[in-house]
Structure 1
Amino acid sequence: MELPFKRIFISGGAGVIGQEMTRRLAALDADIQVLVGDIKPRPADFPARFQYRQGDLNFLTEQEIGVFAPDLFIHLAATFERSTETYGFWEENFRHNVQLSHHLMTVQKDLPSLRRVVFASSYLIYDPALYTGAEVPEEPTSLRETDPILPRNLTGMAKLAHEIELRFLDTFRAAQFSTVAPRIYRGYGRNGRDITSRWVRMLLAGEEITVYGAESFFDYLYAADTAEGLLRLAAAETVTGLINLGTGRARRVADVVEVLRQNFPDLRATYVASAIPFEASQADMTAWSRVIDWLPPTTLEVAIPEIIAFERARQATIAADETTAARGPGHILISSLAAKVPLAQAVKHAAKRLNPGIKVVGGDLNPHALGFHFTEASWVMPITTDEHLPAIISHCQARGISRVIPTRDGELAFWSRHRAALAEAGIAVLVSAPEAVHRCLDKLEFAAFGMKAGLPVIATSLSIDALISDQPNADTAFVVKERHGAGSLSLGLNLPYAAAVAHAQTLQEPIFQPFIHGREISVDGYLSRAGRVHGLVARTRDVVVRGESQVTTTIHDPALVARLTPIVEKLGLYGPFVLQALLTDAGGLHIIECNCRFGGASTLGIAAGVDSFFWFLQEAAGADLRDFPFRPAAGPLRQVRAATDVVKEVKSEKL
């Protein structure tokens, strides 16, 4: 089979059908580029050359997918439950079926690159009165594309809604891209959630299976055949609208049990009567056969042994898989949260983009920390000292916390010193190596390192006299600050010699720097685990209050970014950082200091494209950040930090 497409975006590509599809695409033309988006982690055997975006695709942006520029979109992503949908499925179906399908077409419908859309719909759209009843069916009903529709459940409703949306878009965009919606029948496959795979797992464990509606007919469609059929349908660009995809040869549930018995001679089964109506459906494949010279070939007799072999091979990893599943999606701890409300909100937003099940836990010594009102759970933590490390690890593991974001200078050394032990316990920490942390916390060491590395750092000394070669004159001015801690605290700025010496007497461990006239900027950035700058944006400090930017504006200056990038990469940092620097009228660049953590006003950096927390979560999940490139904002942005009142419902905050 040949595909007339080179850039393919697959939503839900980590599912049963999606994995079969990516394997087929990997075996085709080496020039084919594939981007898979899925809320689940990247599968272990996912083709290495394909891009993988883990996260909630409801947050996929037009800019992000526009950079990939797909010419084919195959929409597999969906959520579903078993035969009877639960009350809690109400919201899940809307978000991950109705809203997701609408959103994914919203961000792609105007892309010049898009030529073809294949939407995996469902036979659940047909009126169940056509194929269900209280009596044992004698034969299956062949459903045609023209038969009456009445969605059987919420999932069917969501599929029908998007079919209609695609029909609407076809009215306006038919000349740009074609759409087709195959109505897929009863799916099953390797590593599936379907009843066939569940029965195989139970039988391998020596358990008895329970059989409901043994006399019902279903058109069982093997996932490998579904993937093949969807790709063939994608290639047939003139085929549009609605079309059935099944085998056209329904089998009874009892047939599935019999094939299982052939492979498990000691099979034990209990047959149970059910109030659920009998089903007897199969696809009428007449329309398909007219346009596609291929029919799904795989029978239950062929597919079930393949599923059994897959599950047997998987036995060695089941315990590890179950342990991972029991831990949940991996919650996040923000330590020393205090009143860092914008930071907490930024972390929550990043977490929801990755997986809506992730919870953000606020940690602080203060039981009344303001930030606790803005996280899903709170923890009054012990102080971050070495003797409390076992208790901190134990608490994190018990609460399913697998990622930690430190936010205070005073705790960075602790988290950095123990990051290896925490990693062994399954906890990733957003912190640099100890030597890099030490350099950033000690301004004298930072300047010495910078001088040695040839960086444009400002000269720094414990002695003011070491900064001058002659007697100071009236034009000589100095900056005096504490060697450790926030540089803005007790800062003496633009002081003459005598005043600088006097001010130093008020500090615990003063250091001196020459005062340089210039425009002070902050630089927000993120360094990957490989030590490479993944995103960087500079901003002016327009209004500064207690050392933090109350009003700050981004600078669009590619030359400055290019100049800063190699400088930052020499610092040996990991994760978010805030660099303070001066720009002189003559074009000079002078580095003041660097904070190796997320800054107070760094939320502007996120808005400008430095997606620090999302990138950290992706790296912690094992992703390659090349799949999540930096996309700077198109123009300057200004952030104004102002107090605001928040009214919230009172609810449980336990994790």
Structure 2
Amino acid sequence: MTHVLVTSISKKVPMLKAVRAAIEKTGCPSLLYGSDLSEDCIGKYFVDRFWKSPLLSEMPPSDLVDYCKHEGISVIFPSRDGELPYFAKVREYFMENGISIMVSELSSINNCFDKFLFYEKLSNKGISVIPTSLHAEHGWKDWVVKERYGAGSANIGLGLDREQAIQHAANMSAPIFQPMIRGDEYSVDVYVVADGSIKGALVRRRNKIVQGESQITSTETYPLLEQLCIEAAQFLKLRGHVIFQAFVDKDGHAHLIECNCRFGGASTLSIAMGLDSFFWFIIESMGGSLSPFPFQRSTKEKKMIRYPEDLIL
């Protein structure tokens, strides 16, 4: 029996529903566990067992292993950027104890968390990535200023001139500078198998963005952008489900912006299109082959609208 734990569930109901569907697809009588720091989180109503967990920084890895063993949990899906380094550091130890975590190696995560390092690594490889600088020393017309580390768009400055960019950066802890690219914004979901091969990639146009997440997103067949992200994922040695953000400018040139090394808020659309990441990872964790489960992309493009919904108990 393979029980599954999703961490930091907060209000990530669509993700929890997708994990439950993957569990049911395996045909195993498994339970869905969810953990969070808050006893009052919304996600607790959408799991079979809820665990009010302590801070990871205050929990020795052996304690989490003991909890998983006691509850029969053998698969963990981290859902928050901040916990990825913790799980990357303990991934091998957990595997030795029969627990699989969908997380990349620490070096790979660091190459994505650090946006300047992300630029350096990919540009040196010849992969198209947005120019990024630690200093306001370029002749760009419009500037973007953002924090160097982590994901998200907090404190970002958009469409600034050089002087405004310098002023904006003064209030940031570790600013980086980029040119403002106007065009279409995309997310690309990629699933990387444990052996480093690519199971599938799917492109989503970000039609409406609210607080850094797609509220309306639609799929597109875009082989060149898929291949760009596949090449980057393999070069960075990522594993499991990851998401690239990219811009395609008015001349049709694609520029990678960043990579989130986890399942994203709107990635459920990719699952609906056939990119069956949770199911594939559970099968991998059970020692099974993914050969009988190919990526069968839907022939019909889909659009997803994210909206609040009531639950009456």
Task: Judge same fold: TM > 0.5, yes or no.
Answer: yes
CA contact (8 A) 2:245 2:257 kept: yes
Q: Secondary structure at the match of 1:523?
A: strand
Q: Secondary structure at the match of 2:75?
A: strand
Query: 2:40 matched to which residue of 1?
Result: 368
Q: 1:404 aligns with which of 73, 76, 81?
A: 76
Query: 1:317 matched to which residue of 2?
Result: none
Q: Secondary structure at the match of 1:357?
A: coil
Aligned positions of 1:374-393 closer than 5 A? 374-385=46-57, 387-393=59-65
Residue identity opposite 1:355 in structure 2: G
Q: 2:174 aligns with which of 509, 514, 517?
A: 509
- Determine the C-alpha separation between the residues in 1 that align with 2:207 and 2:304: 10
Aligned positions of 1:7-46 closer than 5 A? none
Q: 1:416 aligns with which of 73, 81, 88?
A: 88
Poorly superposed stretches of 4+, deviation over 6 Å: none
Q: Secondary structure at the match of 1:420?
A: helix
Q: Secondary structure at the match of 2:164?
A: helix
Residue identity opposite 1:643 in structure 2: P
CA contact (8 A) 1:520 1:541 kept: yes
Query: 1:337 matched to which residue of 2?
Result: 9
Q: 1:437 aligns with which of 100, 104, 109?
A: 109
What is the Cα deviation at residue 563 of structure 1?
4.2
CA contact (8 A) 1:525 1:605 kept: no
Does residue 623 in structure 1 map to residue 295 in structure 2?
no
1:153-204 Cα shifts (integer Å, max 9, x gaps): xxxxxxxxxxxxxxxxxxxxxxxxxxxxxxxxxxxxxxxxxxxxxxxxxxxx
CA contact (8 A) 1:483 1:511 kept: yes
Gaps of 5+ in 2: none
Say which one has the larger Rg: 1
Query: 1:607 matched to which residue of 2?
Result: 272
Aligned positions of 1:204-219 closer than 5 A? none
Does residue 633 in structure 1 map to residue 305 in structure 2?
no
CA contact (8 A) 2:190 2:230 kept: no
CA contact (8 A) 2:127 2:228 kept: no
Q: Secondary structure at the match of 2:266?
A: coil
Residue identity opposite 2:127 in structure 1: L
- Determine the C-alpha separation between the residues in 2 that align with 1:488 and 1:538: 21
What is the Cα deviation at residue 483 of structure 1?
1.1
- Determine the C-alpha separation between the residues in 2 that align with 1:438 and 1:644: 36
Aligned positions of 1:260-275 closer than 5 A? none
- Determine the C-alpha separation between the residues in 2 that align with 1:588 and 1:487: 24
- Determine the C-alpha separation between the residues in 1 that align with 2:58 and 2:307: 37
Q: 1:598 aligns with which of 252, 263, 270?
A: 263
CA contact (8 A) 2:142 2:180 kept: yes
1:520-567 Cα shifts (integer Å, max 9, x gaps): 100011011111221111011111000000000001223433444323
Q: 2:149 aligns with which of 465, 484, 507?
A: 484
Does residue 539 in structure 1 map to residue 204 in structure 2?
yes
Residue identity opposite 1:412 in structure 2: L
TM-score (normalised: structure 2) = 0.96
What is the Cα deviation at residue 386 of structure 1?
7.0
Query: 2:162 matched to which residue of 1?
Result: 497
CA contact (8 A) 2:194 2:240 kept: yes
Query: 1:577 matched to which residue of 2?
Result: 242
- Determine the C-alpha separation between the residues in 2 that align with 1:345 and 1:647: 17
What is the Cα deviation at residue 368 of structure 1?
1.2
- Aligned alpha-carbon RMSD (Å): 1.4
1:270-299 Cα shifts (integer Å, max 9, x gaps): xxxxxxxxxxxxxxxxxxxxxxxxxxxxxx
- Determine the C-alpha separation between the residues in 1 that align with 2:59 and 2:44: 25
Query: 2:127 matched to which residue of 1?
Result: 455
Q: Percent identity?
A: 38
- When residues 449 and 562 of structure 1 are mapped into structure 2, their CA distance, relative to the original with a 3 A threshold, is closer
Residue identity opposite 1:440 in structure 2: C
CA contact (8 A) 1:481 1:512 kept: yes
Q: 1:561 aligns with which of 201, 216, 226?
A: 226
CA contact (8 A) 2:269 2:304 kept: yes
Higher relative contact order (CA 8 A, sep 6+): 2
> Which structure has greater strand proportion?
2
Query: 1:201 matched to which residue of 2?
Result: none
CA contact (8 A) 2:243 2:259 kept: yes
CA contact (8 A) 1:483 1:509 kept: yes
Gaps of 5+ in 1: 1-328, 649-655
What is the Cα deviation at residue 485 of structure 1?
2.4
What is the Cα deviation at residue 387 of structure 1?
4.8
- When residues 563 and 508 of structure 1 are mapped into structure 2, their CA distance, relative to the original with a 3 A threshold, is closer
